[in-house]
Each structure stands twice: as C-alpha cells, then as structure tokens.
Amino acid sequence: MTYLDHAATTPMVPEAIAAMNATMLEGGNPSSLHASGRRARRRVEEARELVAQRVGARPSEIVFMSGGTEADNLAVKGLYWARHHADPARRRILASAVEHHALLDPLTWLEKAEGAVADLIEVDASCRLDVDALRAALERDPSDVALISCMWANNEVGTVQPLSEVVALAAEHGIPVHSDAVQALGHAPVDFADSGLDAMTLSSHKLGGPTGVGALVVRRELDAVPLLHGGGQERDLRSGTLNTAAITAFAAAVDVAVTRRDEESRRLEALRERLVAGVRTAVPDAVVNGAGEPGPTHRLPHVAHVTFPGCEGDSLLMLLDAQGIECSTGSACSAGVPQASHVLIAMGMDELAARGSLRFSLGWTSTEADVDRLLAALPSVHERARAAAKAGRR
C-alpha cells in the first residue's frame, strides 16, 4: 500500500504508541483523589505542560477535548455566546470562506438556531485570504462583530493564511481571533503567544497521535460558554472524564512533530517537489493548486493539490486505490459527498475543474518509493479516467 493521505490522518508515531500503552496499563481517573487518580492527574498535567511548551502557550491555556471538531465548535459557539450575551448587538462572525466544515457547519447552525450572521471572507486564486476584503467587512461596523476565525493553513491546498494581518486588524477593534491550526502544527512554526491569537484548535491524529483527542488553546482572560456541562473539568470549559492515555499520547506526538519539524519539513518538501515534477511530466496539462512559493508563510511542505482537466477526481481516486495507492479528493470529512470542494470554488475554480482534483499529502512514513509508485501508475490511470469522463459526457 502507498499511503498519500496524511492530511486526513497519519499513522501513530512509535513514541505516541509507547506513551499510550504505558498509560493504559495504569488506569485511574484523574479526578479521583486516591493514589491511582493522582498518578493519572500527574500524567495529564505533564502532558498539558509539554503541549503548552511546544506550542508557545501557558499550561493553563490548554483545554483538552475529543479532537479538532469539538475544539472548533467550542471556539465558535462558546465565544459567540459569551460575546453576544454580553452585548446583543454582536451578532456577526467573520471567517474565511475556505474554513474546514468543522468550523463552517457550526456557523451555519448559529445562523439558523441563534440568529447569528456568518460573514465569509473571500480568498484569492491561491487560497490566501483577501485582507482588504476582511478589513472592509470589519470596518463596515466593528461593533456588531463577535469574533473572527481564520485557519492557520488550508487543509486541502496547503496555503498558509496571513494570520498576523488578521490579528492586527482585529486588535484595532478589540475583537477576539480564533484559528484552526490542525494542519499547520508540525509543518509550520506555530507559537500561540507570538501569534496574538485568542484561541487555537489542535488535533492529535494529524500529528501521529491517536484519534479522539485534541485541544483548544484559549487565553485565560477570554470568556467562553461551554458546550458540555458536568464535572467542571478543564477550567469548566469541557466537562467529562479525561482520556488520560490519549492525552499522554497526544502530548508525545506533539513533542515529536514540533522538535523534528525543521528536518522533516525539508524532507517532505523535497518529496513534494519530486511528486509535482513527476505529475507535470506524466500529465502536462495538470494544474497544481494553492500557493506556489514554498516556505512557512506561503504553503505547507507536505500537501500537493492537483487538478486533472477532463477527469473526475472520484474516478482517479478509485483507479489509484485499485493499484494500492491512497489519496484524497479533498477533506476526508467530506469524502463520498458528490459535490465540488467549497475551497476550490472559493478560489474561483469552476465546478467541473473542482471535481477533477486530487490531494496528495505526505507524512512521516512517506518515501521516494511511495512517490515513484504513484508516478508509475499515473499515466494509465489518467488515461482511463479521462476516457471514462469523455464517455460519460456523450
């Protein structure tokens, strides 16, 4: 099997597996007062300190959750409720049009259920947020804006967003900013304190940790209404018994991803260049999407998003899968839904072209041999997919 879908999820790193196995053998509820509970609590707090250190935050700002989706929901709903309840005029939420559905769908829910107004800001053809459009939307009436959310880097095409400019604009009007940094951590320099953000989403399974765990990094000074009520764990922002083993493994994965980032980014960038050059040779009319320039302020090193004109992405994906090569037509959370990617449409691509696109994403297990197997299979796969699409249009 050739796995080229690391942006969807990446295999657990050995360090995370070891940490999880060791903790699972211990047991204990971290809210209990006896020895086993105190030991579990120590594991959780050590993990909290490690994650905080690696992402430039204070330990008290790390709120453990079930993953990126819950963290995005808490960030959007919790901040909106707190701000709107304090000032009912604040009904508008500004967000980029290319956010993950884990953020866009809560916005839609807030519009329908709570009367919020989601103001989605356009991006350019490279998927970079239009800062002038954000400024215009913000300055139209900053007094009615509850929060701004802008992802650190796009999960489909890998473009890094101009967060520093977003934060600077928001600061002029005292508006909190949240960023979904799920794809960025481990592939770009992520420092919560330096960023000026108020809240930031992290997810374990994108880093080599287990699924079902993540964190919302949130400033202590920021008010947010919790989604879950119960035992009051995690600063009363996220009640529920803490998953000690998963949290410990998450911290181990963060540690590995951040400490090895520079070396691994160089390795993955070289593999990406090999992949892109090979695709262009095999399919000369293929179009590589997203920011073209490499570097942590432009695009992620491990994502290559390609449009194959005249083809259906689903056909390409299944033909490659039949040869043991796994990739994606976009966000895994939207897989199987017969519609064009909202990200590509927001970038100005027409629906036909958007449906003919694939995302190849690399990770810690990726090798030159993986790339070469893709490139060897691609010419025949592309020919068959294009013929099938042509026949279907007759």
- Model confidence band, residue 389 (pLDDT cutoffs 50, 70, 90): confident
Q: What is the largest CA-CA distance in the chain?
A: 72
Contacts of 78 (CB under 8 A, 6+ apart): 224, 225, 226, 227, 237
Strands 214-218 and 177-180: unpaired
- Position 107 scores a pLDDT of 98
Does the structure show a pLDDT above 70 at 41? yes
Q: Domain spanning 2-9+261-392 has what CATH number?
A: 3.90.1150.10
pLDDT, average across residues 95-108:
98
- Position 257 scores a pLDDT of 98
**Gyration radius (Cα) of the chain, Å:** 21
Does the structure show a pLDDT above 80 at 331? no
Does the structure show a pLDDT above 90 at 112? yes
The class that CATH gives domain 14-259 is: alpha beta
Least confident span in 125-129, 232-236, 299-303, 369-373: 232-236
- Position 27 scores a pLDDT of 85
Residue 246's nearest CA partner among 213, 215, 216, 202 is 213
Residue 292's nearest CA partner among 125, 137, 85 is 125
User: For the chain, what is the mean pLDDT?
Assistant: 95
pLDDT, average across residues 90-103:
98
Question: What percent of the chain stands above pLDDT 70?
Answer: 97
- Position 379 scores a pLDDT of 97
- Model confidence band, residue 336 (pLDDT cutoffs 50, 70, 90): low
pLDDT, average across residues 57-85:
98
Rounded Cα distance, 195 and 175, in Å = 15
Residue 51's nearest CA partner among 8, 24, 16, 100 is 16
Residue 122's nearest CA partner among 103, 101, 137, 100 is 137
- Model confidence band, residue 19 (pLDDT cutoffs 50, 70, 90): very high
Does the structure show a pLDDT above 60 at 236? yes
pLDDT, average across residues 272-287:
97
CATH topology agreement for domains 2-9+261-392 and 14-259: no
Does the structure show a pLDDT above 60 at 338? no
- Position 70 scores a pLDDT of 98
Does the structure show a pLDDT above 80 at 330? no
Assess whether 127 carries a catalytic annotation.
no
Annotated catalytic residue, options 127, 150, 311, 333: 333
Q: For every residue of 78-134, which 3-state class applies, written as one string?
A: HHHHHHHHHCCCCCEEEEECCCCHHHHHHHHHHHHHHCCEEEEECECCCCCECHHHH
pLDDT, average across residues 42-58:
98
pLDDT, average across residues 243-266:
97
- Position 73 scores a pLDDT of 98
- Position 394 scores a pLDDT of 59
Does the structure show a pLDDT above 80 at 298? yes
Does the structure show a pLDDT above 90 at 218? yes
Least confident span in 262-271, 335-344, 354-363: 335-344
74-89: b or e for each residue (b if 16 or more CB lie within 10 Å)? bbbbbbbbbbbeeeee
Q: Look up residue 12 and give its amino acid.
A: M
- Position 333 scores a pLDDT of 55
Does the structure show a pLDDT above 80 at 179? yes
Does the structure show a pLDDT above 90 at 60? yes
- Model confidence band, residue 295 (pLDDT cutoffs 50, 70, 90): confident
Q: Are the C-beta atoms of residues 5 and 358 closer than 8 Å to each other?
A: no
- Position 82 scores a pLDDT of 97
- Position 391 scores a pLDDT of 80
The number of CA neighbours under 13 Å toward the Cβ of 365 is 16
Q: Pick the more confident residue, 331 or 310.
A: 310
pLDDT, average across residues 289-294:
85
Report pTM: 0.95
Q: Are the C-beta atoms of residues 387 and 307 closer than 8 Å to each other?
A: no
Q: What is the pLDDT of residues 195-216, one digit of tens each?
A: 999 999 999 999 999 999 999 9
For the chain, domain boundaries? 2-9+261-392, 14-259
